[in-house]
């Protein structure tokens, strides 16, 4: 064997035997509201039991793995990015806290989004967290007078309930 061939084999062996530090992956975490609609229909309840689930499965996958849409209803309450590993049933990282929040949990807010279906709706803040990718706080608002509809909004799209709406000029 030639000298450079032996050296190449030795170098390749050293590369493969060299200790490799473990890498951290980025994953998306979800906070989901799960309702067992099948049990609710069978027992003819007006208000179904709801449970909060936090994990790394998106809402559609969670529904498919737990009986399908005819069995459960899944609503995404919040989503954020985490670093680390979720193998071995490790828990996901906690939801980020809001930064300099204008609204707190339980506050009544009005939606201020021109030309949006929810413009003018009033609801209650249920979730608040900071979303780094858009550099803004995100608020989860539930509308009890609209069949418990839940939606997420950026801080700029909310005003305190009862505040006078700003006068908007028509587009020219």
Domain extent at residue 40? 22-85
Per-residue pLDDT of 66-120, as tens digits, reads 888 888 889 999 999 988 877 778 888 999 999 999 999 999 999 999 888 999 9
CA–CA dist 137, 40 (Å, integer): 34
**Residue 40 included in any domain:** yes
**Same domain, residue pair 75 and 127:** no
- The tokens for 44 are 């003819």
Q: What is the residue-averaged pLDDT of the chain?
A: 85
**Same domain, residue pair 107 and 154:** yes
How large a percentage of the chain has pLDDT more than 90? 49
* Predicted TM-score (pTM) of this structure: 0.75
pLDDT of 12: 74
**Residue 152 included in any domain:** yes
**Residue 105 included in any domain:** yes
- The tokens for 86 are 């979720």
CB atoms within 10 A of CB 154: 13
Domain count, the chain: 2
CB atoms within 10 A of CB 97: 10
**Residue 34 included in any domain:** yes
């Amino acid at each position: 064997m030639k000298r450079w061939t032996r050296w190449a084999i030795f170098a390749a062996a050293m590369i493969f035997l060299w200790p490799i530090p473990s890498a951290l992956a980025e994953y998306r975490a979800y906070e989901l509201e799960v309702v067992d609609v099948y049990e609710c229909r069978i027992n003819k309840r007006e208000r179904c039991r709801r449970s909060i689930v936090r994990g790394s499965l998106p809402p559609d996958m969670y529904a498919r793995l737990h009986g399908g849409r005819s069995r459960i209803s899944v609503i995404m309450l919040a989503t954020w990015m985490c670093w680390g590993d979720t193998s071995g049933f490790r828990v996901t990282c906690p939801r980020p806290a809001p930064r300099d929040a204008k609204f707190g949990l339980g506050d009544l807010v009005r939606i201020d989004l021109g030309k949006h279906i929810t413009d003018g709706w009033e609801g209650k803040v249920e979730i608040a967290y900071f979303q780094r990718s858009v550099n803004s706080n995100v608020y989860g608002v539930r509308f009890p007078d609209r069949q418990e509809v839940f939606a997420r909004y950026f801080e700029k799209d909310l005003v305190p309930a009862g505040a006078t709406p700003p006068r908007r000029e028509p587009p020219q």
